[in-house]
């Protein structure tokens, strides 16, 4: 069974991509809505939350963990890999790799939470592989709350996005990493505001492909199940959580409070 956790419903974009690419594998998801967002919190707090989330998923039978949260991926991956014996897959590396291969001019933009951007994890990962790249980052603290509230097509959301994306206009980027798994829900607003020539890198999709390749290379890590089942847990219920989840999956969703 594949276990996936995030600070809220945004990580369901990863879960949906995994469902699509790996239909024979069961999946258990945990969205920590009660303590969302993770981005403004200290690294220690994010690590503590990530340990709790991982333990929850392991108790539910997970044999592999996906950190479907860029903030947690940026500060908690090493700790989780040291503490737990199951494979731990983060969302940074797959997105960074795709950004490098997609960029023609080596000028890459990254939008993310405070925790992700301040960790410099995308810049470090990209430059380690491609030192000639230029990486430009912007902190976008309001986007996760807007997605969690379901404000996916509001005038205010469009205005905030325009403000966040403005610094990239003169930097001649040709690739923009959506450095948070909530952000794919805003792709239809981001693309026209950053320009159609800029390639958007969706960490959710790239992570799902990465997991598929990992499981093909390590077929004995998780057993396939012809009757795969998927369970979605959340630490709290909000008015908008289920509608946002149903928008991601295009089907009725049951969110179990745990």
CATH number, position 105: 3.40.50.1860
Of 181, 203, 225, at which residue does a domain stop? Answer: 203
Enter the pTM of the model: 0.92
Q: Does 182 count as an annotated binding residue? A: yes
Q: Are 197 and 99 part of one and the same domain? A: yes
| Whole-number Å distance between alpha carbons of 103 and 108 | 7
Q: Are 221 and 246 part of one and the same domain? A: yes
What are the tens digits of pLDDT across the range 189-213?
999 999 999 999 999 999 999 999 9
What are the tens digits of pLDDT across the range 78-128?
999 999 999 999 999 999 999 999 999 999 999 999 999 999 999 999 999
Confidence of residue 231 (pLDDT cuts 50, 70, 90): very high
63 phi and psi angles, rounded to 5 deg: -115, -5
Instruction: Classify the C-alpha dihedral 172-175-179-180 as positive or negative.
Output: positive
Q: Does 240 count as an annotated binding residue? A: no
Q: Does 181 count as an annotated binding residue? A: yes
The number of beta carbons lying within 10 Å of the beta carbon of residue 55 is 13
Q: Which residues are catalytic?
A: 69, 180
Q: Does 70 count as an annotated binding residue? A: yes
**Token output for 8:** 């809220």
Q: Are 195 and 144 part of one and the same domain? A: yes
C-alpha of 50 from chain center: 14
Of 203, 228, 249, at which residue does a domain stop? Answer: 203
Q: Does 71 count as an annotated binding residue? A: yes
């Amino acid at each position: 069974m594949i276990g996936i956790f995030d600070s809220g419903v945004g990580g369901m974009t990863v879960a949906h991509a995994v469902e699509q690419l790996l239909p024979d594998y069961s999946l258990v998801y945990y969205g920590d809505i009660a303590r969302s967002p993770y981005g403004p919190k200290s690294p220690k707090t994010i690590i503590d939350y990530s340990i709790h989330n991982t333990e929850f998923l392991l108790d539910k039978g997970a044999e592999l963990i996906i950190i479907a949260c860029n903030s947690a991926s940026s500060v908690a991956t090493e700790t989780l890999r040291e503490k737990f014996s199951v494979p731990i897959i983060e969302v940074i590396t797959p997105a960074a790799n795709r950004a490098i291969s997609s960029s023609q001019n080596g000028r890459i933009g990254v939008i993310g939470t405070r925790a992700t951007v301040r960790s410099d994890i995308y810049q470090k990962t990209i430059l380690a592989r491609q030192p000639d790249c230029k990486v430009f980052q912007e902190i976008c603290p309001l986007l996760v709350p807007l997605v969690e509230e379901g404000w996916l097509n509001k005038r205010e959301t469009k205005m905030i996005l325009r403000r966040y994306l403005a610094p990239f206009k003169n930097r001649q980027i040709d690739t923009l990493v959506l450095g948070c798994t909530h952000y794919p829900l805003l792709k239809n607003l981001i693309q026209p505001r950053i320009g159609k020539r800029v390639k958007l890198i969706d960490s959710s999709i790239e992570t799902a492909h990465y997991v598929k390749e990992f499981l093909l290379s390590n077929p004995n890590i998780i057993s396939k199940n012809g009757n795969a089942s998927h369970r979605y847990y959340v630490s709290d219920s909000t008015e908008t959580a289920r509608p946002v989840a149903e928008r991601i999956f295009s089907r009725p969703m049951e969110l179990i409070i745990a």
